[in-house]
Amino acid sequence: AQSVSQHNHHVILSEAASLELGCNYSYGGTVNLFWYVQYPGQHLQLLLKYFSGDPLVKGIKGFEAEFIKSKFSFNLRKPSVQWSDTAEYFCAVNAGRGSTLGRLYFGRGTQLTVWP
Amino acid sequence: DTGVSQDPRHKITKRGQNVTFRCDPISEHNRLYWYRQTLGQGPEFLTYFQNEAQLEKSRLLSDRFSAERPKGSFSTLEIQRTEQGDSAMYLCASSPGGSGRALAGNEQYFGPGTRLTVT
């Protein structure tokens, strides 16, 4: 079965610091990759996704992620975080064939706390 | 509000009781998913529907769990004889249709979830 690893469980940064959250997955075939964010008291929403093409994808609010196939990684980055980026971030992978296409496998999440 | 809605938002029940949750997807979406999320973990897939057909069920979905989507619109998730281990957030998501790789790339829109506490 596919699995997704997020190695940083809690990251604490000051405003304007740079951010990189790691995500690794285990699946050798074609994958689609997602980062979801959950702000306090809100539901999950999509930050960005990789489907095909340019491995560097840009999302909302200045976030970007790079798909490195050889490393099975899809790390999330932001050059300068803001207090409003405090949230939980989930990496997710869609992989498989036929009827299993569509289901997402999520990592356990990384809680980001940004101090003003 | 045209997003995914779930009802109720919170449910407290005693062990052994049955509970039912409802999900209303975005109206033009024909795929509907159920996930479960426990504290400190990411969402785990339970089952999904394309229109009214239930296409896949996770091994997490024991015989006490049943899901329906009778007219291809809203869906219900029922848990019979609840156990304390069932305490979790139950999330519903929907996505547009499609097939093959196009389907795989479709964003899933999540609802606010139903938090179940079994005492």
Dump pLDDT digits (tens) for A72-93.
999 999 999 999 999 999 999 9
Q: A105, B45: Cβ pair inside 8 Å?
A: yes
What are the tokens at B42?
């990411």
Percent of chain A with pLDDT over 90: 75
Residue B48, pLDDT > 80, answer yes
B67 backbone dihedrals φ, ψ, rounded to 5°: -130, 145
User: Residue B72: its pLDDT value, please?
Assistant: 85
Question: Tell me, what amino acid is at A100?
Answer: T
What are the tokens at B62?
């024991």
For B59-116, write each residue's pLDDT tens digit: 888 899 999 999 889 999 999 999 999 999 999 999 987 655 555 557 899 999 999 9
Dihedral over alpha carbons A55, A60, A64, A67 (to 10 degrees): -30
Shortest Cα–Cα distance, A43 to chain B (Å): 5
Query: What is the H or E stretch that residue B22 is in?
Result: strand B19-24
Question: Tell me, what amino acid is at B82?
Answer: T
Which residue in A45, A89, A94, A103 has the most chain B C-beta atoms within 10 A of its own C-beta, making it the best mutation to test that interface?
A103
Confidence of residue A15 (pLDDT cuts 50, 70, 90): very high
What are the tokens at B114?
């139903």
B96 backbone dihedrals φ, ψ, rounded to 5°: -65, 165
Buried b (16+ CB within 10 A) or exposed e, A32-66: bbbbbbbeeeebbebbbbbbeeeeebebeeebbbb
Identify the burial level of B49 via C-beta atoms within 10 angstroms of its C-beta, where 0-12 means exposed, 13-18 middle and 19 or more buried. Answer: buried
What are the tokens at A46?
């999509």
Among residues A9, A22, A2, the alpha carbon closest in space to that of A109 is found at A9
Q: Quote the CA–CA distance of B43 and B36 in Å, as a whole number.
A: 5
Query: What is the H or E stretch that residue B54 is in?
Result: strand B53-57
User: What is chain A's mean pLDDT, rounded?
Assistant: 91
What are the tokens at B63?
């015989």
Q: Which chain B residues are closer than 8 Å to A42 by Cβ?
A: 112
Residue B100, Cβ neighbours under 10 Å: how many?
10
Length of chain B: 119
Q: Quote the CA–CA distance of A18 and A81 in Å, as a whole number.
A: 6
Q: A104, B43: Cβ pair inside 8 Å?
A: yes
Identify any residues that bridge with A19 across adjacent strands, giving them in sequence order: A78
Q: Quote the CA–CA distance of A108 and A48 in Å, as a whole number.
A: 18
